[in-house]
Amino acid sequence: MPTLADVAPGTRATIASVGGERAFRRRLLELGLLPGTSVEVLRVAPLGDPLELLVRGCHLSIRRREAAALELTSAAGESAG
Amino acid sequence: MSEARVCLLGNPNVGKTALFNALTGQRGRVGNYPGVTVECVGAPLRLGDDRTAELIDVPGCYSLCARSAEEQVALNAALGLGGFPKPDLVVQVLDAGQLLRNLYLTVQLAELGIPLVLALNLMDEAGDAAPDVAALTRQLGVPCVGTSARHGQGIEQLREAIAGALDERPLARVGVRYPEALRRDADRVADALPEAWQQGSVERRRALALWALMSLEDEDELTGMSPELRERVRDVRRDAGRDQDLEIVSARYSWLTELLARAGQGEVSGAAHPLTERVDRVLLHPVAGFAIFLVLMTLVFQALFTWSDPAISAVERGVQAVQQLVQGLLPETVMRALLVEGVLGGVGNVLVFLPQILLLFAIVGLMEDSGYMARVAYLMDRVMRALGLHGRAFVPMFSGFACAIPAVLATRTMERRRDRILTMLVVPLMSCSARLPIYTLVIAALFPPRLIGGVLPLQGLLMVAMYLFSTVIALVATAVLGRTIVKGKSVPLILELPPYRMPSWLAVARMMRDRSWEFVREAGTVILAFTVVLWGLLSFPKPPASVVETSAAPAALVAAPEALPAATVGPTTGAGHGAETAPPPDAASSPELEAEAERSPIAQSYGGRLGHALEPLLRPLGFDWKIGVGLIGAFAAREVFISTLGLVYGIGDADENTGTLREKLRAERGPDGRPLYRPLTGLSLMVFFAVACQCMSTVAVVYRESKSWRWPLLMVVYMNGLAWALCFALYQLGTKLGF
């Protein structure tokens, strides 16, 4: 299954499952990154890490390593923008 | 009846502090609630003509669930646990444009049976997404007020709602439908809740049980949790074997989605702030964004390093003027010397930091409030991660190049105590501006101004090398300390990038005022005490009357952590210290020099004797007792080393550009008849100054910020130990190699 770390910037996808270390995962869930939620990778920081995500109208940044624990149902096509 | 207490809670970046300022007014007296790790600020809240309550600003949080002690503060403040007074009402501040995520915290507060008022802030930003406040009030059953703290809108309505709610104690209607199995789990946990948590409704006990179920784990840092509760949670989690975290959060989100639908709110999707997105395309651009960042940081550095200089000089002149005034008014006694040189000097040593502190917090405040600080953390996270820190550590570390004092204060912008402590411990290794005059003196005195390979100036190169060296040492120390003494579980980064906003000048001004006042009040007292002690050490016992003529007491203890070499070390003459007449420089064959120095009043003082006593320890580094005395003086501030060394050599008014002092250093001979101050000694001395912790103000400020003597003591031990070891290795190896 593709993960959030695999997709190119500008890709919008749907979260299938949220993994990772417990406190971190709990915080992501509480911020609304639940299975079924739509998420877009907006960009990658100039030094290659972390990623900037757009979830429910909120801009969040997490590192690539943790993004790899977020599985996606489908890495749907490029978003318009 | 005692004054009612109102807690202000909310997610980060929702304008909570702006609302706090708007509610309490500019003249609010701000007092601190020293928590274990985080401080909450309280101020009186006027509720009507004759009523006031106390409003307590709690650090922002996304949820009451906690693993660290920092995160536990929100729960403690809301429930009145862990030393917090029990609040009569919680005012939750929400981002009106991000209701769903913000209401998650509301659910937790409501389930705990805490009387609530909701302030839907940032209404002006929400635009089309702005909620129907009346519908939300109807659906939740607690007063909801639309506000825009920056523009002062809705503040009076909120004040009225708070006044009314203190009488009515409104409870929110929430009805999250948790799965049957989860409810059974929660009831099992509820049986093991501590006595104090058992009061109140069934719902409240279940809410506390859910909190425990989500928060407690083997490696958490929570305090005040009973072993029974911990064991029960462990059992229940093991028996259930289900994903309880997901069940709890999902159930809450489902209910909230329905609630918002009933209140006429749709789902938010896409970028809510098109302007922010357009700005970020530039500011976070791989090339342009990074270039702008570097330019901005250069400006910050320039501001701290240079622009603060006139203000620092003004402070110094002011203190000198007062010293001279007092000197003229009082008869010459020991008490006068104590007052002028010890106490007033100490006050000067405190005040001299204010320009840089105010400047740095103006910059930090503007960066935080505008939203750029989060971008700095985003841009620099990759670098700071390599050191075991987060991107937020960048600004404090960087500010350390100017002065460690404001830099240590700036560690407040980091959330985790472990990260703050680690940053505080290494910031003093960055080569601050007070080291510059030392490098200048040593390089000018001991290294010839020649060109290497006909192009590169040796002296300039050495200066650059010292800055590089200190940076490398600081980075290595961060990596090592972070993996050993200040070990912490590495916490993954979750960084919110809030929309750009116009900074609130009131909030920035308030932050500058509060930080400066805290520094003066708490670190200032320690610095003052150190100055008086140091003055005593270097002034007593008094030499016999015959030598008093040349007595140049350590008037130079008032010195500044400032930038421009010319202005830096001009010691505050404090008035009336004799020895302005320097002996002729050619009087300097070594034995005479030694004898002359031995006779100087400062060599006779306790501090001087201590310098002598330290000599066996300093010899292997290439230093003699005179440098030892200088090092003791340097504890007031590094640049004082030069004036103290000057006093040892009988030069009244030495600075790093004083030719006589350079001559004397060059003329010194060691026991073997070779020049005592060779380039190797100079290198050793510079390395010592780069690494050693010699600044009492840094010690005081680390004590104030860590609320313990443990960390400043550790800092003194590790930095000085490291400095000694490095200089030992350098000098011994260099001597063996014949330098």
CA angle centred on B641, ends B635 and B646, rounded to 5°: 140
Q: Which residues of A touch B269 (CB under 8 A)?
A: 38, 56-57
Measured in whole angstroms, the distance separating CA B353 from the mean position of its chain's CA atoms is 14
Higher pLDDT, B270 or A19: A19
Tell me the range of B140-154, B391-405, B492-506, B562-576 where mean pLDDT is highest: B140-154
Structure tokens at B285: 């651009």
> Would residue B73 count as lying in a domain?
yes
What is the C-alpha to C-alpha distance for residues B104 and B101, in angstroms, rounded to an integer? 5
Q: Which residue range forms the structural domain that includes residue B137?
A: 4-168
How far is Cα B16 from Cα B94, in angstroms, rounded to an integer?
8
| Shortest Cα distance, chain A CAs vs residue B732, angstroms | 41
Pair (B142, B112) in one structural domain: yes
Q: Which of B360, B370, B415 is nearest to B391 (CA)?
A: B415
DSSP-assigned states of every residue in B264-326: T-----S-S-HHHHHHHHHHT-TTHHHHHHHHHHHHHHHIIIIITHHHHHHHHHHHHHHHHHH
To the nearest whole angstrom, how far is the Cα of B516 from the nearest Cα of chain A? 32
**For residue B386, is it within any domain?**
no
Cα B45 to chain centroid distance, Å, stands at 28
State the burial class of residue B616 (Cβ atoms within 10 Å of its Cβ: 0-12, 13-18, 19+).
exposed
Question: Are B46 and B52 spatial neighbours (Cβ–Cβ below 8 Å)?
Answer: yes
Is the CB of B382 less than 8 angstroms away from the CB of A32? no
Give the model's confidence band at B667: pLDDT under 50 very low, under 70 low, under 90 confident, else very high.
Answer: confident
User: Who wins on pLDDT, B360 or B588?
Assistant: B360
User: Which of B245, B262, B279 is the endpoint of a domain?
Assistant: B262
Please tell me the predicted confidence (pLDDT) of residue B592: 64
| Cβ neighbours, 10 Å, residue B307 | 14
Same domain, B104 and B194: no
CA separation for the pair B716, B530 (Å, rounded): 15
Q: Which of B62, B245, B491 has the most A C-beta neighbours within 10 Å, making it the best mutation to test the interface with A?
A: B245
Q: B262, B286, B308 — which closes off a domain?
A: B262
What does A17-81 look like in DSSP terms, one character per residue? EE-SSHHHHHHHHHTT--TT-EEEEEEE-TTS--EEEEETTEEEEE-HHHHTTEEES----B---
Q: Looking at residue B127, what DSSP letter applies?
A: G
Q: What is the ipTM of this complex?
A: 0.93
B188 shares a domain with B156: no
**pLDDT at residue A78 tops 70:** no
B81 within a domain of the structure (yes/no): yes
- Structurally, chain B folds into a number of domains equal to 2
- B190 and B206 Cβ atoms separated by less than 8 Å: yes
Of B208-217, B501-510, B542-551, the range with the highest mean pLDDT is B208-217
Q: Give how far A45 is from chain B: nearest CA, Å.
A: 6
Token readout for B191 is 């049986």
Tell whether B143 and B10 lie within a shared domain. Answer: yes
* CATH code of the domain in which B216 resides: 1.10.287
- Residue B121 shares a structural domain with residue B258: no
- Among residues B307, B508, B303, B318, the alpha carbon closest in space to that of B399 is found at B303
The model's confidence at residue B458, banded by pLDDT at 50, 70 and 90, is confident
Residue at which a domain ends, from B230, B262, B294: B262
| Per-residue pLDDT at B739 | 76
Residue B94 has phi, psi (to 5 degrees) of: -120, 155
Instruction: Answer yes or no: is B223 within a domain.
Output: yes
Asked whether residue B410 is domain-assigned, the answer is no
CATH number of the domain enclosing B106: 3.40.50.300
Q: Is the CB of residue B364 less than 8 Å from the CB of residue B357?
A: no
- Structural domain includes residue B443: no
| Nearest CA-CA distance, residue B560 and chain A, Å | 38
With CB atoms and an 8 Å threshold, state whether A61 touches B290: no
In whole numbers, what is the pLDDT of chain B averaged over residues?
A: 83
User: What does the block give as tokens for B408?
Assistant: 């240590």
CB contact under 8 A, B65 and A18: no
Q: What is the mean pLDDT of residues B239-253?
A: 95
Write the pLDDT tens digit of every residue in B288-299: 998 999 998 888
Mean pLDDT to the nearest integer, A55-63: 92
Sort A77 into a burial class: Cβ within 10 Å, 0-12 / 13-18 / 19+.
exposed
Assess B285–A contact: CB distance below 8 Å, yes or no: yes
pLDDT per residue as tens digits for the range B167-218:
999 999 999 999 999 999 999 999 999 888 887 788 899 999 999 999 998 8
Mean pLDDT over residues B83-100, rounded?
92
Query: Quick check: is B147 in a domain?
Result: yes
- Name which residue leads in pLDDT, B415 or B207: B207
Would the CB atoms of A62 and B271 count as touching at under 8 Å? no
Q: Output helix, strand, coil percentages for chain B, rounded to the nearest 5.
A: 60, 5, 30
pLDDT of B550 strictly over 80: no
One-character DSSP codes across B439-498: HHHHHHHHS---EETTTEEHHHHHHHHHHHHHHHHHHHHHHHHHHTTT--PPPPPEEE-P
- Interface check for B386 against chain A (CB to CB < 8 A): the answer is no
Same domain flag for B135 and B80? yes
CA gap B150, B155 in Å, rounded: 10
- Residue B578 pLDDT grade (very low, low, confident, very high; cuts 50, 70, 90): very low
In this prediction, residue B303 has a pLDDT band, given cuts at 50, 70 and 90, of confident
Do the domain assignments include residue B107?
A: yes
Name which of B504, B365, B506, B503 is nearest B26 in CA terms: B506
d(CA B105, CA B14): 13
Q: CA-CA-CA-CA torsion for B293, B299, B300, B303, nearest 10 degrees?
A: 180
Per the CB < 8 A criterion, the answer to whether B644 and B630 are in contact is yes
Overall CATH class of domain A12-72 = mainly beta
Query: What whole-number distance in Å separates Cα of residue A31 and Cα of residue A24?
Result: 11
A41 exposed, middle or buried (CB, 10 Å; 0-12, 13-18, 19+)? Answer: buried
- d(C-alpha B675, C-alpha B696), whole Å: 32
Q: Are residues B50 and B164 in the same domain?
A: yes
Could you tell me if B39 and B145 lie in one domain? yes
Query: What are the structural domain ranges in chain A?
Result: 12-72
In one-letter notation, the amino acid at residue B17 is: T
3-state helix/strand/coil string of B148-201: EHHHCECHHHHHHHHHHHHHHCCCCCCCCCCCHHHHHHHHHHHHCCCHHHCCCC
Q: Would you say residue B558 has pLDDT above 50? A: no
Pull the structure tokens for residue B355. Answer: 């320009």
In B482-576, which ranges are E strands? Answer: 494-496
Greatest mean pLDDT among B544-553, B566-575, B682-691: B682-691
